[in-house]
Structure 1
Amino acid sequence: MADVEFNRLFTDFKFTAYRLEALQRYDVTYEQDEFSRFLAGEARGEFPGIAEWIDGTVTKAVAAGKSLSRVHVVELPMSDYVRFECAWAYEHTVEAGEDVRILPVRRGEWPAELPHYDYWLFDSSQLVAMYYEEDGSFSSAEIIDDPRRVVEANHWRDVAQASAVPYREFARTHQDRLRVPA
C-alpha cells in the first residue's frame, strides 16, 4: 500500500478510526531525537512528528465530529519506548481529543482474545494490517478485504476497548514510571 493511499484513509474516514498497538517498541525515524532526549532526562520540546499528527489529523477529525481511538497493549514493566510514548505523545494526543486506552499485561503474557499485531480499522469496515520488523521498524501495510477478518477486527476492537483503561487513569497509576530516573 502506497503512503499516499494510506494517508488518505485518515482524511477520508467518515466516523471512526481505531488502532490496536501491540509492540513495545516502534522504531520511528521522526521520533529518534525526541526519544534520545527523553532517555537523557531532558524536557519535552518541539516534537514535529506528534505535532503533525495532532494538527494534521486529530484536531481536524475531532472538529469534523469524527472519532480517533487506540488501545495499546502494554507489557509491564513498561519498556523505555512505551514510557516515552505515554509521556511525550499520548499525553498530548489525548488532550487534542484522541481516545487513547492502555491494556496493561504482565510481560510475556498476552490477552487470549487479541491478536499480537497492529492494525487500523476505519469506519468499522476498512481493515489495514500493519507489519513491523523485529526491531520495531515499519515494514508495510496491507488492506484486508476479507469480510470475516474485518468482523474479527471489530470484535478485537470491542474486547480491547472494554478491557483497557483510559490513558489518563493509567498515567495517574503509573506516573512515577513515566519519568526517566534522575
Structure 2
Amino acid sequence: MFTSLSDPDFQRLFEDFRYTAYRLETFQVYGVPYEMEEFARFQAGEARGEFPGIARWADRVSRGVKAGKQFHRVHVVTEPLSDYVRFECAWAYRHTVAAGEDVRITAVPEGQWPDGLPRLDYWLFDSSVLVRMDYADDGTFVSAELVDDPEQVVQANLWRDQAVHLSVPFAEYAAGFDDLMKPVAHS
C-alpha cells in the first residue's frame, strides 16, 4: 500500500517496468498537490507557467520512450468538460503527448458511462503489475494498492483493451477545441 505519490517504491514502478506503463483515469478532477498552483492560474485565465510537476513527468516519459518503453493513458471524460479536465488537456496532455506519451480520450455525455469500463483508476505495468489507485470523491489521492490477484490483473488488461478500443488519440479529440479546451463552434 502506498499512501503518497512520492513514495520511492511507488516511483520505482515507473523506472523498473520493461515495456509498457498504462493508466486508466476516470475522475473528472484530481486534487494533486503539484498541480494546484498551475490549476489556479489556469482558472484565473493566466498564461501557463513552468509547471514543474508536468515537466518532470514529460522528462520521465521522454527518457523512457528513448529507452524503448511505452507510456499509455486513457482518460474517460464527461462532457461538458470539467474545468480540471480542460486544464489537464490544455496544460498537461499537450506536453506529455509531445514527450511521447500515448494519451487517448473516451468522451461520454454527463450522466453516461462507457460500456465495459469501471469507475476506478489504475496503473498496469508490463500487463502484469497492477496498482489500483484510490481517490476521495473530490479527487484527492488516498492510496495506491499493489494487486497481485491474477484474476484482477487479467480483468485490468481487458479493461485496458476496451478503453483503448473506445478511445481516440488526444490530438484527434483536442482538434474540436480551442487552446483552452473550449468547444470550437462549427459553421
TM range (shorter): over 0.9
Aligned to 1:45: 49
TM-score by length of structure 2 reads 0.93
Structure 1 residue 157 corresponds to structure 2 residue 167 = no
What is the DSSP-based 3-state SS (H/G/I as helix, E as strand, rest coil) of the residue aligned with 2:78?
strand
- Separation in 2, partners of 1:146, 1:58: 28
Percentage of matched positions with identical amino acids: 62
Task: Provide Cα deviations, 1:123-154, integer angstroms capped at 9, x if missing partner.
Answer: 00000000001110000000111111101100
Q: Normalized per residue, which structure has more helix? A: 1
Task: Provide Cα deviations, 1:78-108, integer angstroms capped at 9, x if missing partner.
Answer: 0000000000000000000000000000111
What is the DSSP-based 3-state SS (H/G/I as helix, E as strand, rest coil) of the residue aligned with 1:131?
strand
Q: Which deviates further from its counterpart, 32-41 or 81-90?
A: 32-41
Computed over aligned residues only, the root mean square deviation of the Cα atoms, in angstroms, reads: 1.3
- Separation in 2, partners of 1:31, 1:83: 13
For 2:132, which of 129, 134, 142 is the aligned residue? 129
For 1:63, which of 62, 66, 91 is the aligned residue? 66
- Separation in 2, partners of 1:132, 1:175: 30
Structure 1 residue 97 corresponds to structure 2 residue 79 = no
TM-score by length of structure 1 reads 0.95
Question: How far did 1:177 drift?
Answer: 5.9
- Structure 1 letter corresponding to 2:95: H
Q: List gaps (5 residues or longer) in structure 2.
A: 183-187
What is the DSSP-based 3-state SS (H/G/I as helix, E as strand, rest coil) of the residue aligned with 2:175?
helix
- Separation in 2, partners of 1:78, 1:97: 24
Aligned to 2:185: none
Paired residues of 2:124 and 2:156 also in contact (CA < 8 A): yes
Question: How far did 1:112 drift?
Answer: 2.2
Change in CA separation of 1:176 and 1:65 when aligned onto 2, cut-off 3 Å = closer
Q: List gaps (5 residues or longer) in structure 1.
A: none
Aligned 1:10-25 pairs, distance under 5 A: 10-25=14-29
Question: How far did 1:176 drift?
Answer: 6.5
- Separation in 1, partners of 2:100, 2:109: 28
- Separation in 2, partners of 1:177, 1:87: 6
Q: Which deviates further from its counterpart, 105-114 or 12-21?
A: 105-114
